[in-house]
Amino acid sequence: MDMRTPSADVVVDTILDSVREAPAADLMDLRVGSFWTVVCTSAGVGLASSMRSETHLHNRKPIADAGALADRTPHELTELLRSESPPEAAIGLATANALLGPSARGLTEEKAVEILRERGAGRRVAMIGHFPFADRLREDCGRFWVFERGLNRSDGDLDDEAMGRFLPEADVVAITATTLLNRTLPSVLARVDPGAFVMLLGPSTPLTPALHAFGIDVLCGTLVDDPDGVLRAVEQGAVTSQITGVRRVCLWSHGGS
């Protein structure tokens, strides 16, 4: 198998295999906010995007055991990452991040936008997911494409069809970690040039070096320093910029930038 074009199940298995190596922990709290899901364990705290689901419109339950999840252990909750329901998968991913982040080794405190500004200066840059800093980054790049299919789509953002045409041309590729939740990461990686610099970013990013095997050069995620503050912000509907008490960290392949 070409590790740069794994299946969605292989990506999930890789994350869960990393979680199994993490120490056992107790579940302390779990909140599903409008925009973010947060899971607190005795080992640490993890975040994941609360991706909207329309399955409830068809008399289905986006989170099957809502109200009873506190009866599960963190390691049991991580198995929800296998779910085809994005809200359930978000709980699994947030729990995985709660277990993986605090034990990750070799982390550096860096912001994704600064790495992209340096790596993308004068080059062709593709961003999968419209991040708030997209317009600022555009000024530094030779060419700049944003591909967005969700509610964050803005004027000028491109669709999946355009991704097939332009993504292979990119020298630098920044991929939102929500592609883990909608299971589109493999299809994105399949279109990336083998020589491109690839970043997976956002608070949903699992900080496990196992993901480097898929050709991802740097993982840019979040560590939570203020669990109470993050819980309060999430349950009150905070978006990323409103969540304080966190650190932006990176995990590089081959030990550094």
pLDDT given for residue 57 in this prediction: 52
Same domain, 155 and 200: yes
CATH at 216: 3.40.50.11590
CATH at 60: 3.30.390.100
> CA–CA distance from 113 to each of 13, 138, 189 (Å)?
29, 11, 20
DSSP 196: S
Same domain, 97 and 149: no
Q: What's the pLDDT tens digit per position in 182-217?
A: 999 999 999 999 999 999 999 999 999 999 999 999
Q: What's the pLDDT tens digit per position in 48-81?
A: 999 875 445 556 788 989 999 999 999 999 999 9
Domain with 34 in it = 8-103
Tell me the percentage of the chain whose pLDDT exceeds 90.
81
Answer yes or no: is 68 within a domain.
yes
Please compute the mean of the pLDDT values over residues 95-110 and round it to a whole number. Answer: 96
Answer yes or no: is 2 within a domain.
no
Same domain, 125 and 22: no
Number of separate helices (H) and strands (E) present in the chain: 8, 9
Answer yes or no: is 248 within a domain.
yes
Same domain, 59 and 141: no
pLDDT given for residue 31 in this prediction: 96
Please compute the mean of the pLDDT values over residues 159-169 and round it to a whole number. Answer: 94
Which of these three, 61, 81, 103, is where a domain ends? 103
Assign 11 to helix, strand or coil: helix
Same domain, 12 and 94: yes
Q: What's the pLDDT tens digit per position in 109-154?
A: 999 999 999 999 999 999 999 998 998 899 889 999 999 976 667 7
pLDDT given for residue 5 in this prediction: 76
Please compute the mean of the pLDDT values over residues 94-113 and round it to a whole number. Answer: 96
Total domain count, the chain: 2
Answer yes or no: is 186 within a domain.
yes
pLDDT given for residue 1 in this prediction: 39
Same domain, 91 and 119: no
Same domain, 121 and 248: yes
